[in-house]
Amino acid sequence: MSLEREEPTHFGAGPAQLPTHVLQQAALDLINYKDIGLGIGEISHRSKDATQVIEDSKTHLKELLNIPDTHEVFFMQGGGTTGFSSLATNLETAYVGKNGKLGKCGYLVTGSWSQKAYEEAHRLRLPAEIIFDSRKYDSNGKFGSIPNESEWSSNLNGDYAYVYLCENETVHGVEWPNLPECIVSNPNIELVADLSSNILSRHIDISKYGVIMAGAQKNIGLAGLTLYIIKKTILNDIQNANQTKLDELNVPVTPIAFDYPTVVKNNSAYNTIPIFTLHIMDLVFQHLKAKGGIKQQEVENELKQKSIYDALDSYPNFYNLPVDKSVRSKMNVVFTLKDSSLDGKFLEEASKLKLTGLKGHRSVGGFRASIYNALTVESVNKLSKFVKDFAEANSK
């Protein structure tokens, strides 16, 4: 069977399209890695070759994001949902380790993923608090905007173990254009952020984050593995937490496989790390470095989002874009047709042009074009042309 394929134009939200040559190399390595006679998925996770994959992945990520020495990188099984619980218990433990008391778990809810993150912390019986729910600030009572800081910063009351946000909400197409200054400028608050769907899509200042979590399957790899970037001081605070005090305060015990200091001490291999999945992630890192790094990727992503949003905005009587322009996602473009009876036709004609993965999330309907890093400018331009042609052909 050939490893060649026609370059896809798949706009699925995740698992998502990956660069073809990354998958070609991964396919070869799955059979025979570095001519050792075994595939990379067959080698021990504690072997020299596997350790090198882990070290290379960390090095390449640090280079791409210019990660300072104040932060540590590690990889852990699972995805965003695993992170919802592990972040909550680890960060609360860290707060107790530093302060000897409970801190509130604050959530900035801008879509379904940050809502689910809050619900998990609440389910674990931690002192979880919604600092704001953007639906309450929206004229339609839906996710589609982010309130101005001046409207909610006064809600920050008391001591916080952390404040959590999802930087890009894939379902609702809402993305924070900038981090909230009232959080990042407060030395007593650790910002915890889910960057699963926009990691490596643009430049970010790592020093502003306490913890970054990013599931792989949207922008950087396959499902089943998540990368974390964490302040080393937080790791120290977790280790310093007194178990008797934690029991007294009813802080849930973090399962050992998800205890951050344990994972870091064992170089992400305390539990058997899916090394093939990590290898693909590292191939994506290497691909991005070779094309010019974050700077070049950000240029391409700006061109892509402008292309598709301009096309949709050109037909305001045909397409509806529910997200406020100031917070439109550059990764997940959501829209509906004014005439929903044309929905099936839209998908059918798009499919004939091999434009796939455009159906919206089941909870909101409509359409969603996920234009992650692997989607080329040419691919997005092809979709933009279809958007225009379809509106022209079907406008009354």
> pLDDT for 65-78, tens place per residue?
999 999 999 999 99
Residue 139 pLDDT greater than 90, yes or no = no
Could you tell me if 203 and 310 lie in one domain? no
pLDDT band at 365 (very low <50, low <70, confident <90, very high): confident
Q: Running DSSP on this structure, what letter comes out for residue 188?
A: T
Look up residue 158 and give its amino acid.
G
- So what's the pLDDT on residue 104? 98
Is 345 part of any domain?
yes
Residue 315 pLDDT greater than 80, yes or no = yes
Mean pLDDT of 283-310: 98
Could you tell me if 307 and 189 lie in one domain? no
Could you tell me if 187 and 204 lie in one domain? yes
How far apart CA 353 and CA 90 sit, in angstroms, is 47
Could you tell me if 216 and 320 lie in one domain? no
Where does a domain end: 235, 265, 288? 288
Is 98 part of any domain?
yes
pLDDT band at 321 (very low <50, low <70, confident <90, very high): very high
> Tens of pLDDT along 108-133?
999 999 999 999 999 999 999 999 99
> Tens of pLDDT along 175-194?
999 999 999 999 999 999 99
Could you tell me if 169 and 314 lie in one domain? no
> Tens of pLDDT along 208-263?
999 999 999 999 999 999 999 999 999 999 999 999 999 999 999 999 999 999 99
- So what's the pLDDT on residue 5? 93
- So what's the pLDDT on residue 1? 73
Where does a domain end: 242, 260, 288? 288
**Share above pLDDT 90 across residues of the chain, in percent, rounded to a whole number:** 97
Residue 363 pLDDT greater than 90, yes or no = no
Could you tell me if 164 and 221 lie in one domain? yes
Could you tell me if 252 and 318 lie in one domain? no
How far apart CA 133 and CA 130 sit, in angstroms, is 7
Could you tell me if 223 and 246 lie in one domain? yes
What lies within 8 Å, CB to CB, of 127 at 6+ separation is 102, 103, 104, 105
- So what's the pLDDT on residue 396? 74
Is 16 part of any domain?
no
Is 6 part of any domain?
no
Mean pLDDT of 304-330: 97
**What interhelical angle do 275-290 and 293-313 show, nearest 10?**
80
Q: Which CATH number goes with the domain that contains 113?
A: 3.40.640.10
Handedness of CA 111, 85, 94, 196 (dihedral sign): negative
Is 220 part of any domain?
yes
Is 13 part of any domain?
no
What is 229-259 written as a DSSP string? EEEHHHHHHHHH--HHHHHHTTPPPPPGGG-
Could you tell me if 54 and 128 lie in one domain? yes
Where does a domain end: 288, 319, 339? 288
Is 36 part of any domain?
no
Could you tell me if 254 and 318 lie in one domain? no
Q: Is the peptide bond before 15 cis (omega within 30 degrees of 0)?
A: yes
Q: Does the predicted model carry a pTM greater than 0.95?
A: yes
Number of domains within the chain? 2
Parent domain of 74: 41-288
> Tens of pLDDT along 34-68?
999 999 999 999 899 999 999 999 999 999 999 99
- So what's the pLDDT on residue 346? 97
**Share above pLDDT 70 across residues of the chain, in percent, rounded to a whole number:** 100
Could you tell me if 162 and 52 lie in one domain? yes
Kindly state the tokens that stand for 131.
Answer: 């600092």
Mean pLDDT of 152-167: 96
The residues assigned a catalytic role are 113, 194, 218
Is 24 part of any domain?
no
How far apart CA 192 and CA 212 sit, in angstroms, is 6
Q: Which CATH number goes with the domain that contains 386?
A: 3.90.1150.10
Could you tell me if 251 and 382 lie in one domain? no
